[in-house]
Amino acid sequence: MRLFNTRRKVIVAVAVIALTGAACSSASNSSSPTVKQGGVLRIGTDSTIDSLNPWVGFQANAYAVWQYTYPYLGEYDAHNNIVPYFARSWQSSSDGLTWTFHLVSGAKWSDGQPLTAKDVAWTFNTLVKFQNGPTAAWAANAVHLKDAVATTPDTVTFHYSHPVGNALSELILMPILPQHVWARYATGSGKALRTYPNTPQNGQPVISGGPFMLVKYQKDQLALLRRNPHWWGPKPHIDGWGFQIFSNDDAMVTSLESHQIDAIETVPFTDVGTVRSRGFKLVQSPGIMFYDFIFNSNPNKPNHRELLSPRSGRPSSTPSIAGRSSRWRWRGTGPAARRSCPPPPADGTTPTSSRCRSIWPRRTRYWTHSVTRRGPTASGWPGGTQWRTR
């Protein structure tokens, strides 16, 4: 079971303002004295990035990076209305089977290559082609979609086998990928699509079609983005921004108070008073996280080793190596478990091992596990896993 915070969370306002409101401007207000120009916005987070490959990634901060490095057909405004982005306008046929989007003209990727309707069509056609395999994570965005056709460099048309009531909201959520980068992996079964790391290589940034491009990435440590010189939209006020990933909240708050970072995504409730008393502006808003259960629904893997306890052969919890969290898979009936973990070091160092246990109600068997991060072992886990029952 994945555990997400459902409580109201407190967010340092500068992160929200700089990235969603003041990060970009039109030429008419680029000299506004109320907006600071330049600099790099450093955001602290306790949530890691699992993968920067859009066909693989799952964590929220991975999506945040994609949203600023890839174009999208549309976006939501402050009132949750869908508004133009890379697509300047669109219309659908009366029967709902055809959607046509008119795109920005003369756009380029960060490497100077043309960004056109062909990239849009390729992205969605690749999704449709491999939706039962490597691109399955995005299959819900292409329900009943037959194909996408670039009718002109600035126009793309989507054809559906059946009308889809939420077609527009699904289409605008898909990041548009550069065909000249990804096409080489979309061959055969398409499995290679999931192998591309999509991280800076040999000192070169990830090719971007958004306002920023990813120039540096260190797993579980940081992601740094800089302005895209070929960005086709309004020029950002800031030179760049990035995530610094912390293993515990205490170290993150300490870094904020010492001005090593400029903002943090969430403030622990125990630190709200202290942070506010030191002059930081905080914004309190309803939390958007939730609890959920993940079921193993793959009929081809009823005995998959990751879902079984090596000792008993029964379904049990599956640890996640990245960060401090575990992904719990629950099979059968009974009361849910709650997770218990000792606090990590307060000095900001990343422990080489963590011990957590899933605690069940009394008179019920529960499992404990220990996950180390010292490299692959014969057990098949990155670092190995030891299990025991009580």
pLDDT above 80: residue 317: no
Strands in 367-372's sheet, in edge-to-edge order, are 338-340, 353-359, 367-372, 385-389
pLDDT of residue 270: 85
What are the tens digits of pLDDT across the range 319-351?
Answer: 333 333 333 333 333 333 333 334 444 444 444
pLDDT of residue 332: 34
Q: What is the H or E stretch that residue 69 is in?
A: helix 60-69
Please check whether residues 125 and 181 belong to one and the same domain: yes
pLDDT of residue 40: 95
Please check whether residues 125 and 202 belong to one and the same domain: yes
Please check whether residues 372 and 273 belong to one and the same domain: no
Please list the residues that pair with 227 across neighbouring strands.
212
Please check whether residues 52 and 189 belong to one and the same domain: yes
38-63 average pLDDT score = 94
The average confidence (pLDDT) of the chain is 76
Check if the beta carbon of residue 157 is closer than 8 Å to that of residue 108: no
Last residue of a domain, one of 173, 207, 237: 237
Please list the residues that pair with 158 across neighbouring strands.
99, 148
| Alpha-carbon distance values, 335 to 314, 356, 368 (Å) | 17, 19, 17
pLDDT above 60: residue 171: yes
252-268 average pLDDT score = 90
What are the tens digits of pLDDT across the range 279-302?
Answer: 898 887 776 666 667 676 666 666
Paired tokens of 134:
């490597």
Please check whether residues 302 and 383 belong to one and the same domain: yes
Whole-number Å distance between alpha carbons of 257 and 279: 10
pLDDT of residue 265: 84
Place of tokens 């808003």: 285
What are the tens digits of pLDDT across the range 65-85?
Answer: 999 999 999 999 988 899 999
Please check whether residues 199 and 71 belong to one and the same domain: yes
Please check whether residues 268 and 324 belong to one and the same domain: no
Q: How many domains does the chain have?
A: 3
Paired tokens of 3:
């555990």
CB atoms under 10 Å from CB of 253, counted, come to 21
pTM of the model: 0.69
Question: Could you tell me what percent of the chain has a pLDDT over 70?
Answer: 65
Question: HSE (CB half, 13 Å, CA atoms) of 106?
Answer: 2
Whole-number Å distance between alpha carbons of 170 and 138: 10
352-370 average pLDDT score = 35
For 94-149, where are the alpha helices, taking DSSP H only?
Answer: 117-129
What are the tens digits of pLDDT across the range 346-357?
Answer: 444 444 333 333
Please list the residues that pair with 327 across neighbouring strands.
318
pLDDT above 80: residue 254: yes
Q: Residue 156 maps to which CATH number?
A: 3.40.190.10
Please check whether residues 123 and 167 belong to one and the same domain: yes
> C-alpha angle with apex 70: 67 to 76, nearest 5 degrees?
45
Domain extent at residue 186 = 47-218+227-237
Please check whether residues 303 and 315 belong to one and the same domain: yes
Counted residue by residue, the chain has a size of: 390
Please check whether residues 102 and 201 belong to one and the same domain: yes
Please list the residues that pair with 213 across neighbouring strands.
226
pLDDT above 90: residue 178: yes
pLDDT above 90: residue 95: yes
| Alpha-carbon distance values, 360 to 109, 169, 308 (Å) | 52, 40, 18
Please check whether residues 212 and 261 belong to one and the same domain: no
Please check whether residues 155 and 266 belong to one and the same domain: no
